[in-house]
Chain A
């Protein structure tokens, strides 16, 4: 094969792969919307399940929408409070300790790869040990453990790209490491931090396995952290397992809601990030 055909071949391969994967993504979104939009209604978004909802009768998924928002906001907040300082510590304080930082990165990469059901199982053990029932709080803690690695590594990647010269300049102006962390590095990496929060939120709101045992499921909207809560992924799961077609269609409507929420948050964070620059 001469170099020209080789070049052509690889160009084609890259082009086709891109088209293929974008196509699959579009297909997922379109088929969910196609099945879900017709059964999506105002009542579905604004009411909680009434008796017989899971047999195709009156009600909505407001419990799952609110539950998912509570859970993801709580978990993302907790993960940020833990993850942000870790990433700053690695990039501002441990600059001299390459090996240690790489070891920490490795640990978080491994944790990132651990399936969410394992976090769910771990959360469950913890709950049994502490004598806590399935609740919003247990779910928030479990999900935050599950997204901390994502939060840390995503913030870490953006802090890593802050030039060494900026650190040196800031130190030369007499800044302490904490001033550099919060006033300079976090500002310089602002967009990356927003992206990290979004990425973590997206993972938190979309995961079913980690909340299955820890958050439980209920038709009510929780009023305290100690109550169980419904979540959208589990709402999709339960409706999809139903043999009744109308209920299955509502699962797709719920999926549409979930996708829209993630989309709105993506756009919002992008808007905030762009305005900052």
Chain B
């Protein structure tokens, strides 16, 4: 298996309180890697360390390596804008930009200097169709994005992220604030998108993990307890903590 990202001995602490302890794992290219675990186990922090959003946390200290296409992104010389543009982020709830629907999609393109009207029009249509939002919003592209429903906003955020042409999609419990129908749409999109993108999905929903995963990483209290293919991890867990989590003894 080809690895898009490999993490070696990643340690992260906030005010000397360890959050991630010696995390090592590989994220395969063009697959869905699910990071599974109970709340507070550090899975969101791990996800955010991938595009260095963890830099924003006061009192944070990191060590170890995160290799993206063979380059260590924790190395201080890296261009953060460059790294972040390679990774689209889908957060727990949608955060539409304070502008209209059209501008939400074109924002990433406009800040990188693409202003040709026809080009932007085409991109907007393309990405909105990609997330099945085009038919719902094509007549009101000039409406503020905040006027959309939460489910629509989340799809808009996905489209907005895809429009900057990332290689990786980071999704942090992307369906946790959505209704079942919108959740299903997002899940289906991910299954379609994995042929072109490397997807890292953080979830605490076991059933979602089973539906989506090509590769599973189970975390508990800041440590990677076990990782492997869904078949290995779900049907034949090795570690007692994984076994008790999978049997529903804690969430």
Task: Say if A and B assemble together.
Answer: yes
List A residues at the B interface (Cβ < 8 Å).
95-98, 163-176, 179, 183-184, 187-188, 190
What is the chain B residue whose CB lies nearest that of A173?
B108
- Contact partner of B89 (CB less than 8 A), chosen from A98, A172, A183, A190, is A172
- Known contacts: A171-B84, A173-B107, A176-B81. The answer to whether A165 contacts B55 by CB under 8 A is no
State which residues 64-108 of B face A: CB under 8 Å: 80-82, 84-85, 87-89, 91-93, 95, 97-99, 107-108
Q: Are A168 and B161 in contact (CB under 8 A)?
A: no
Neighbouring B residues of A164 by C-beta, 8 Å:
56
Q: Are B91 and A187 in contact (CB under 8 A)?
A: no
Q: Are B58 and A188 in contact (CB under 8 A)?
A: no
Kindly state whether residue B157 has any CB partner on chain A within 8 Å: yes
Q: Are B91 and A173 in contact (CB under 8 A)?
A: no
Neighbouring B residues of A175 by C-beta, 8 Å:
81, 107, 111
Kindly state whether residue B155 has any CB partner on chain A within 8 Å: no
State which residues 33-68 of B face A: CB under 8 Å: 48, 51, 53, 55-58, 60
| Contact bitstring B132-172, A, C-beta under 8 A = 1, else 0 | 00000000000000000000000001001100100000100
What is the chain B residue whose CB lies nearest that of A169?
B95
- Contact partner of B111 (CB less than 8 A), chosen from A166, A168, A174, is A174
Q: Which of A167, A168, A179, A187 has the most CB of B within 10 A?
A: A168
Neighbouring B residues of A183 by C-beta, 8 Å:
107, 111
Q: Are B56 and A169 in contact (CB under 8 A)?
A: no
A to B CB contacts below 8 Å, 12 in the list? A95-B58, A98-B58, A165-B93, A166-B97, A168-B48, A171-B53, A172-B51, A172-B170, A173-B107, A174-B111, A174-B112, A187-B98
State which residues 1-49 of B face A: CB under 8 Å: 48
